[in-house]
Amino acid sequence: MWSEGYTRYRTPIADLFSAENKLALQLQTELKLTEALEELGKIPNGISTIVSEKIPKVKLSRVEEIDKEINHDLMAVVRALAEQCGDAGEWIHYTATSMDIQDTVLAQQMRDAKTIILEELKKTLGLLREKIQKYKSVPTIGRTHGQFAVPTTVGFKFSNYYYEFYRSYQELLKCDVAISKFSGAVGNYASSHSRELEALVLQKLGLSPVPISTQVVTRLVHSSFLYHLAQVASVIERLSKEIRHLQRSEIQEWFEPRSSKQVGSSAMPHKRNPHKTERLNGLARVVRSNVSVGLENIALEHEREISNSAPERLVIPESVIVSHYMILQINAILDGLEINDENLKKNLEKAAVGHSEQILRELVPKVGRQTGHELLRKYVGSKNFKQDVLNDSQIKDLVTEKKLREIFDTFDVGLAIEKSEEVLSKFKV
């Protein structure tokens, strides 16, 4: 089942975590280590040139063959490279421990994944800005607890989602994953006595040194990355829920796009199921659940053990791939989203109770808030709120029928339009 899910929701970002790409990054990291060692005069000149020339000859099949024999995946890479390099092979991996390489490779994968995801999120923000501009003045009924509340605008609803995506984007942007270490077996540089070597290797790879480490980079880095991906997934879920609930048969205001040949149900041909948004709601649970694994990986014993290693090989790629899929999907949904203006108006008319707040404002100066509230509250569950209010002699003694009808005939959306414009102005990527 996992492989089926991996295929169904796989996106090109998965290539970052392929065995081929991981090997390429491992070999590149070993090469940059030899280059830095040469530059610092710690190994003979010319070693890095030989390593660079021989890297293309290292095959994944050979690495896997060695790994089966020695049961150490990184040392299998070192041996496969060394056997291609002759005498120069003796200098490969000098001063390094396995996690100097592995954590550096993982840092590059997370950095590259983050870059791709941020670019897609920019598109999400662009699509939402378009929706705000188009619908900022279009009234709709707001809902709380699944019930009619008071009028607002469609654009104001999109403005709330825009701000949440913007904030998630900014927090992911600040999440520093491009850090690693080359500080040896317990992090104290006993193998090299050189912070300069660490800085030089990582600089060549576009990374920075973590301020201090054990044999591994603190897993606070990795759990933070997983958390920020989960935050993005959760914001996508909230927007997806709105779309699929507003697509309900009794509401029919918003509709996710569908193709002309799309089948809603195998048994009920009439159905237009919101399956895309429902799928996103479910996938968000997967990304969120992986955060707990990341947090469990923080409390490693002493200077290192490997209880983090196996789960990281699963949850980091999975969270990246699923998050990327979710962003691509919500972008496609937003791009083709249908909003039914006629049903927006119909539901506003049905939601006459949404005018209660405006009527209460008229009552407060005359009888106070609590009394005014009670005068209206007695019509909870009314089948025709508008008519009941217009027939209420107590209310009409306080607010003229003309004023009541004027309230029922207009939709007070407060500062919805102004706030929507403010969000567009203040929060730009």
Query: What is the full per-residue pLDDT of the chain (429 aa) written as tens digits?
Result: 456 666 889 999 999 999 999 999 999 999 999 999 999 999 999 999 999 999 999 999 999 999 999 999 999 999 999 999 999 999 999 999 999 999 999 999 999 999 999 999 999 999 999 999 999 999 999 999 999 888 999 999 999 999 999 999 999 999 999 999 999 999 999 999 999 999 999 999 999 999 999 999 999 999 999 999 999 999 999 999 999 999 999 999 999 997 655 555 445 454 568 899 999 999 999 999 999 999 999 999 999 999 999 999 999 999 999 999 999 999 999 999 999 999 999 998 887 766 788 888 888 998 899 998 988 888 777 778 888 888 888 888 888 888 888 777 788 899 999 999 999 999 999
Looking at the fold, whether 177 and 315 belong to one and the same domain comes out as yes
Looking at the fold, whether 316 and 383 belong to one and the same domain comes out as no
Torsion-angle region of 406 (φ positive above 0: left; ψ -120 to 50: alpha; else: beta): alpha
Rounded-to-integer distance, Cα 272 and Cα 261, Å: 11
Tokens encoding 329: 């999907």
Among candidate residues 305, 293, 322, the one with its CA nearest the CA of residue 10 = 322
What CATH number is attached to the domain comprising 369? 1.10.40
| Residue 207: inside a domain | no
φ/ψ of residue 411, rounded to 5:
-120, 105
φ/ψ of residue 210, rounded to 5:
-70, 145
**Domain limit, last residue, from 91, 110, 129:** 91
Containing 338, the helix (H) or strand (E) segment is strand 338-339
Tokens encoding 13: 């970002």
Residue 307 is a catalytic residue: no
Looking at the fold, whether 43 and 123 belong to one and the same domain comes out as no
| Residue 108: inside a domain | yes
In order, the DSSP letters of 41-110 are TSS-TTHHHHHHHHGGG--HHHHHHHHHHHS-HHHHHHHHHHTTSGGGGGGTTTT--HHHHHHHHHHHHH
| Residue 202: inside a domain | no
Rounded-to-integer distance, Cα 227 and Cα 219, Å: 12
Looking at the fold, whether 61 and 179 belong to one and the same domain comes out as no
Looking at the fold, whether 328 and 366 belong to one and the same domain comes out as no
Residue 373 is a catalytic residue: no
Looking at the fold, whether 82 and 154 belong to one and the same domain comes out as no
Rounded-to-integer distance, Cα 270 and Cα 86, Å: 70
Q: What is the pTM of this model?
A: 0.89
Write the DSSP symbol of residue 320: H
φ/ψ of residue 93, rounded to 5:
75, 15
Looking at the fold, whether 54 and 136 belong to one and the same domain comes out as no
| Residue 304: inside a domain | yes
Looking at the fold, whether 404 and 279 belong to one and the same domain comes out as no
Contact 168, 160 (CB under 8 A): no
What CATH number is attached to the domain comprising 159? 1.20.200.10
| Residue 205: inside a domain | no
CB count in 10 Å sphere of residue 18: 12
Looking at the fold, whether 148 and 235 belong to one and the same domain comes out as yes
Extract the runs of DSSP E, i.e. beta strands, from 92-227.
Answer: 139-144, 147-153, 179-180, 208-209
Q: Is 301 exposed, middle or buried (0-12, 13-18, 19+ CB in 10 A)?
A: exposed
What CATH number is attached to the domain comprising 25? 1.10.275.10
What per-residue string of b and e applies to 355-374 under the rule 16 or more CB within 10 Å gives b?
bbebbeebbeeebeeeebee
Looking at the fold, whether 65 and 144 belong to one and the same domain comes out as no
pLDDT at 4: 64
Looking at the fold, whether 62 and 166 belong to one and the same domain comes out as no
**Domain limit, last residue, from 91, 116, 147:** 91
pLDDT at 1: 41
Q: Which of 3, 61, 145, 249 is catalytic?
A: 145
φ/ψ of residue 9, rounded to 5:
-110, 10
Rounded-to-integer distance, Cα 335 and Cα 127, Å: 7
Write the DSSP symbol of residue 28: H
pLDDT at 357: 82
The number of distinct structural domains making up the chain is 3
Contact 70, 46 (CB under 8 A): no
For the chain, how big is the Rg over CA atoms in Å? 30
Looking at the fold, whether 132 and 75 belong to one and the same domain comes out as no
| Residue 72: inside a domain | yes
| Residue 198: inside a domain | no
**Domain limit, last residue, from 289, 313, 346:** 346
Provide the residue range defining the domain that includes 15.
2-91
CB count in 10 Å sphere of residue 326: 28
| Residue 194: inside a domain | no
